[in-house]
Amino acid sequence: MNAPMHRYLKAIHTTKAMFSASMMLCFMGLGPLAHAQELDCQVSVIAPTINNVEASVFEQLETAITEFMSGRRWTQDEFTLEERITCTMQITINKANSQTNFQGTIQVQSSRPIFNSDYNSPVLMVNDNDFDFTYSPGTLLQYSQDQFRDNLTSVLAFYAYMILAMDYDTFSLEGGTNLYTQAQTVVTNAQGLSSPPAGWSASDGKQSRYALIDNVLSQTFRPLRRCYYEYHRLGMDQAFDDPAAARQTMSNALIALRNVHRIRPANYNLQTFFQAKKDEVVKMFGPAEEGERARLLPVLKLIDPGNIPVYDQGLG
Average the pLDDT over 67-93 and give the result. 95
Residue 30 exposed, middle or buried by CB count within 10 Å (0-12, 13-18, 19+): exposed
> Residue 184 forms beta bridges with which residues?
none
**What stretch of H or E contains 188?**
helix 177-191
Residues in the chain: 316
Contacts of 30 (CB under 8 A, 6+ apart): none
**pLDDT tens digit sequence for 104-139:** 999 999 999 999 999 999 999 999 999 999 999 989
CB 104 within 8 A of CB 91: yes
CB 212 within 8 A of CB 224: no
Dihedral Cα 245, 249, 251, 252, nearest 10 deg: 140
Distance of alpha carbon 257 from its chain centroid, rounded? 19
CB 281 within 8 A of CB 254: yes
Q: How far apart are CA 190 and CA 259, in angstroms?
A: 32
Average the pLDDT over 53-70 and give the result. 97
Per DSSP, 233 falls in state I
Quick one: CA dihedral 231, 285, 113, 272, positive or negative?
Answer: negative
Q: How far apart are CA 147 and CA 185, in angstroms?
A: 9
CB 50 within 8 A of CB 42: no
Q: How far apart are CA 2 and CA 172, in angstroms?
A: 8
- 3-class state of residue 145 by DSSP: coil
- Range name among 32-36, 50-54, 88-92, 181-185 with the lowest pLDDT average: 32-36
Average the pLDDT over 152-167 and give the result. 98
> 304 pLDDT exceeds 50?
yes
Q: Are strands 85-96 and 101-113 parallel, antiparallel or unpaired?
A: antiparallel
Contacts of 19 (CB under 8 A, 6+ apart): 11, 12
- Show the beta-strand stretches assigned E in 114-160: 120-134
Average the pLDDT over 75-99 and give the result. 95
Nearest to 69 by CA among 105, 42, 100: 42
Q: What share of the chain in percent tops pLDDT 90?
A: 86
Buried b (16+ CB within 10 A) or exposed e, 231-240: bbbbbbbbbe
Average the pLDDT over 66-79 and give the result. 95
Under the banding of pLDDT at 50, 70 and 90, the label for residue 11 is very low
